[in-house]
Structure formats: structure tokens, C-alpha cells
Chain A
Amino acid sequence: MSQPRKPWLGVTLVGIALLLAPLVVGASLGNAWVRVLDFAALYIMLALGLNIVVGFAGLLDLGYIAFYAVGAYLYALLASPHFGVHWPAWAILPLGAAVAGLFGVLLGAPTLRLRGDYLAIVTLGFGEIIRIFLNNLNSPVNITNGPKGIAGIDAISVFGHRLSKSIDIGGFTVSGVMLYYYLFVVLALGIVFVGIRLQDSRIGRAWVAIREDEVAAKACGINTRNVKLLAFAMGASFGGVAGGLFAGFQEFVSPESFGLMESIMVLCMVVLGGMGHIPGVIFGGLLLTVLPEAFRHGAGPAQQALFGKVLLDPEALRMLLFGLALIAVMLYRPAGLWPEPRHRREMGK
């Protein structure tokens, strides 16, 4: 990857932007929008995890949200009044990563022989199975509390401070959503770092080799089975961490949050941004979290201003525009909005 001449300048600028973003957004648009940024950070983590599976290794996974669900429910069960257990978040999150990774292997192992669309439908089925179990595991033993979900989950604490509560620094109040924002951004940056290091590692190159041609990769001495399983496990563990954070942030989980549409949403982030290209995926995640929210807030008032009344249900209009945007972007940029400059790199060498 061609390094910019002054990498530290760019990094500093991005750092300052990330630091100030919630303050500016909070002051100008209100805390609801800071919440949107929190979700953007969560979705970026998910998209980066899925990017390992789909973007690097080329394994089409349509049930990725299941790992998010595993992480979230693990957190919910271990830190809520539901079982009366209250583990600290920092014990649960690594455990969530490990358990989700295990589920990743569990899904990966039987599907190693499947290719392309067959893999897609099996992962889709897997995601649905997890969701149905979450929905129904309230009898005969109540584990997940069924469709009602688990409420009253402990908020994440950092250095003994619950992030759900605001904090005063020199007369300036930093609200809970902002604290969560900083936590999520730090963790997302960690995941970005891991992703970048993985990409150029031996494993990362093995994934790309499998994506490009599995038979040739095998012939080159790559243990395709282990490397594919590793892709599933790594991707899943990122999802597991994001899920745990989601549960602590929302303080409530229910099966509704983990439907197929969510998996599709995350996949859209990866593909729309530019598969296998980390900055592109981050951009895709940000775009697909913020744009629909902007539509949600803007569609009603805009109609009011244009026609004097709300002609179309804003919610339907929002999704309609979202669908049209998906089609349009793919028609004009089939490789994504910010694709990997692989060609340039190959030509340069």
C-alpha cells in the first residue's frame, strides 16, 4: 500500500476530527445524533468483521448478525438481573469474542465444502436458526426470555464510572452517549488496526489467495481448511465484541435486533463501501448508518415544506430511497464507492 508522505499529519487530523465530532454534532444537532454516531461505530466494527469473511476470504456470509446476537446475549445473560449475575464488562467482552469465534468455527466446519451461493444460503439458515432459538428459548427453561428480550442490562463501566451517566469536566458536561462514543471509537480503531495488520500478514494474503482461486491456493500449499475456519472465527469474534458493546449500550436486547435484514444491512455496508478495502468499508458503514437516519429526520419536514403536508409515509419513503440508492450505486460503481486499488498496486510492482 502506498504510504502518504506525511502519515502522521493525516492521522492527527483524523484523530482531532474523531475527538471533536460528538461535541460538534451534539451541540449542533443534539444528542440523538451522537447516538447515531455511536451506532455508526458499532456498525463499522461489524462491517470490518464481515469484511474479513466476505472481503478478504471471499466467503459470502448472509447470517453474520448471528455472531452479533451471540455477543449481545452473552453480555445480557452475564450482566443483568435476569440470572442475577453481574460480571464486569471487561471480562464479558473477551469471552464474547471467544464464544462468537467458536460459533464461527461451528458454522464454518460443516460448510467448508460449499461454495458461493450454497454457502450464502446455509449461513442465512444458520442466522435464522440462532434468531429462532433466541425467540423461543424461554421454555421449558427460561434462558433468553423469548421475544420480550432481556432488560435492565448493566451499563459498561470504565474505571468504575458507568458510561450511561454523564460526567463533569471543568464545568463542561460530557453526556453518556458521548462517553460511549469515545469508547466505541477507541475499540473500532483497535479493530481497524487488527484488520490492517491482518490484511498484509501471511494469513491475510492466504485469504486473498483463497478468494481469488481456491484450487490454486491449495496447490500453493495453503491449508485452505484452517485458513477458512480462521476467517470465520476472526470475523465472528469481531461481531461478538460489537454485540457485547451493543447490549451494554442499549441495556436491552431482544431477538428483533438480529433479523436477516440486519445481516443484509451489514453486507451492504461492506459491498457498497468497497469489499476488502478497509477505508471503503468504514466509509460504507458510516454512510449506511447516517444516511437512513438523515432521511428519517428529513423526509417528513421536507414534504411539509414542499407540498404543505406529508404525502408519503416518511418511514416508507426512507426505505424506498435507501433501496433506490443501493441500486444506483451498484449500477454506477459495481466495485463499491471506494474500492481497493488492487490494480494500481499490481501494476506498480
Chain B
Amino acid sequence: MDIFLQQLINGLTLGSIYALVALGYTMVYGILGLINFAHGEVVMIGALSSLTFVRLLENSGLPGTLVLLIGLLLAALVCMTLGFAIERVAYRPLRSAPRLAPLITAIGVSIVLQQLAMLIWGRGYHSVPALLPAGRHEFLGASFTNVQVVIVVVAALTMVGLTLLVNRTRLGRAMRATAENPAIAGLMGVDADRIISLTFVIGSALAALAGVLVSANYGIAHYHMGFILGLKAFTAAVLGGIGNLAGAMVGGVLLGVIEALGAGYIGDLTGGVLGSHYQDVFAFFVLIVVLVFRPSGLMGEKVAERA
């Protein structure tokens, strides 16, 4: 039971981060029908740039939490600028191009960001200073840290905030209208280009947050961290039904929990034949099974076949 609970807690932590990143994928996909392959790299830039800002402020005598907060805000600013620029340079000119063209530019952007990060921050792994007050709590035989609590709470609050933003505000209504049909939304007075830019900016801010949280969770950051994280988050978004905000959250948390439980139990289940290094197989296997039975994801709407 304690292993189960422990893995559930770990999975929930990891899943909250997946969900935050998945939101970025799903928001862009919902509006443009485009896989923003570079989103994982934005997360990485968020993590590394926040680390740089934190390093600069580390000895200023400010309390750790405040330093982290300032680092996060500055990193978010960097990522938002980056997201805005990516959309302008790599996606906007290709709105009416063949579907695979923006996918290739996205891959190009992702390669460029990764190499730039390598040139700026080097190939090595950076250890992330623990700025949050350390603490470990026991709960029914399982234990969790303050960092994990912060991750889950912050992620949950962000998701609630985003849901309110999309469903209750004027901007959210414009976003939903643009997602439905950019041309008609334009006729109703929505500036679709502005809304698309804003979507990228909001998604990138979430990416920065996710980057800070994930590096706090593992205690390390490196130029290559965005790739696999982006892949998992995209998987989570598809699992939940891409283009659907609630789906991304559910998919993210579910994927995290499945991975953690899979890693914890796969050895016992198969009599030690398969070890925990098959963790990733588990995630992708579940994805394939779900998509075979529900081709548009868990919470995706059934799309009518186009005539």
C-alpha cells in the first residue's frame, strides 16, 4: 500500500508538470491545428534562464522564495518573448501552406533553440539551488517534500486560472471564437492574429512555469531537458484529446500516474523480466491502446469525417 501511495504521489507531481506543458501544446493546437514542436524547448529555456537569474540574485540577501519568484517572472518574460517571436517567424507566414511545412519549421526552431542553449549554457548539467524551505512530510507510510506540494498546488491553481480565463473572460471568448473559425471570428471583430499571438505568449508563460517546477523537482537542468519532456507532454495532450484544455490536464496527470505506477509495479507484474527502464514503453503503450479505442483521445470530441 505504501509503495502504491508513494508512486501515486510521485506520479501526481510529475503529471502536474506534464499537464502544464501539455496545456501549451493543446492551446496552440486548438486554435491553429498545429503541433508546436518547439514548445518543449521553450520549457527548457524557461528552466535555464530562471536558473541564471536565480544565480545572479542568490547572494543579494533576499529570501529564497522571493528570489525564486523573481527568477520565475523574468524567465516567463524571456519565454513569452520567445513564444511571440516563434509564432511570428516560423508559423505565421505558413498559415496557408501545406500542413507539414509548419511542422518542419517547428522542428527547425526546436533544433535552433537547443543549440543556442548549448552555446549559452554549455553541455553540462546544472544543479538547481533549493530555494524553497526544505521539508518532508509523512502520510500513511508514504513521504513527500515541500517542493512536491508546491508543484501540485501551483499547477492546480494555474489550471483553474487558465480555465477561468478561457471560459469567463472577453479574451477567452475571443480565443474560443478564433479556435472555432478564425475568419468568422474576424467578422465579429476579433483580431485573430492578436489572439493567436496571445495564445503563444500565454502558453510560453506556462512553459516557463513548468520549466522552473521541473528543474526544482529533479534539482538539475540541462540544454537537452526539453525534448523528452515535450514529447511526454504532447503524448499527454493527445491522450486527453488534443485541443481540449480539460483533456490536457487529465491526460497529463494520468500519464504521470501511469508512468510512476508502471515503473513501480512492472517488475512485480512480469516476475522481474521487465524492469523500471520500460517506464517509457508503458506510457506510449497506454497511449496507443487509448487511441485505438478512442481515436480522438479520452476527452476529445468525436470529429466528423470531412466530406
Contact = CB atoms under 8 A, between A and B. Distances in A.
Q: Do A and B come from one complex?
A: yes
Interface of A: 54, 60, 110-111, 113-118, 120-122, 124-126, 128-129, 132-133, 135-136, 139-140, 213-215, 260, 264, 267-268, 271-272, 275, 312-313, 316-317, 319-320, 322-327, 330-331, 334-335
Given A118-B238, A118-B296, A129-B285, A327 B277 contact: no
Contact of B287 (A125, A139, A271): A125
A268 B119 CA distance: 24
Nearest to A332: B93
B104 A118 contact: no
A267 B101 CA distance: 11
B116 to A, nearest CB: 7
Contacts, number: 133
Nearest to A117: B35
Interface of B: 29, 35, 89-90, 93-94, 97-105, 107-112, 114-116, 118-119, 231, 234-235, 238, 242, 272-275, 277-278, 280-281, 283-285, 287-288, 291-292, 295-297, 305-307
A316 B115 contact: yes
A132 B278 contact: yes
Given A312-B119, A319-B115, 11 more contacts: A60-B100, A110-B288, A121-B238, A121-B287, A121-B291, A271-B104, A275-B98, A327-B90, A327-B108, A330-B104, A331-B90
Contacts of A110: 288, 292
A215 B94 contact: no
Contacts of B292: 110-111, 113
A213 to B, nearest CB: 8
B277 A136 contact: yes
B54 to A, nearest CB: 25
B118 A316 contact: yes
A122 B287 contact: yes
A269 to B, nearest CB: 11
A121 to B, nearest CB: 5
Nearest to A54: B100
B116 A320 contact: yes
**Which 3 residue pairs are nearest across A and B when measured between Cβ atoms?**
A326-B108, A323-B111, A125-B284
Nearest to B122: A313
A224 B212 CA distance: 47
B99 to A, nearest CB: 7
14 contacts: A116-B99, A117-B238, A122-B288, A126-B284, A139-B275, A140-B272, A319-B111, A319-B114, A323-B110, A325-B108, A326-B108, A326-B111, A330-B94, A330-B105
B94 to A, nearest CB: 6
B280 A132 contact: yes
A181 to B, nearest CB: 29
A198 B297 CA distance: 35
A318 to B, nearest CB: 9
Nearest to A214: B305
A300 B109 CA distance: 23
Contact of A316 (B119, B242, B284): B119
Contacts of A323: 107-112, 115
A139 B105 CA distance: 40
Nearest to A324: B112
Contacts of B105: 326-327, 330-331
Nearest to A132: B281
A313 B118 contact: yes
Nearest to A135: B277
A322 B111 contact: yes
Contacts of A129: 281, 284-285
B115 A121 contact: no
Contacts of A334: 94, 97-98, 101
Contacts of B29: 117
A124 B287 CA distance: 11
A114 B300 CA distance: 13
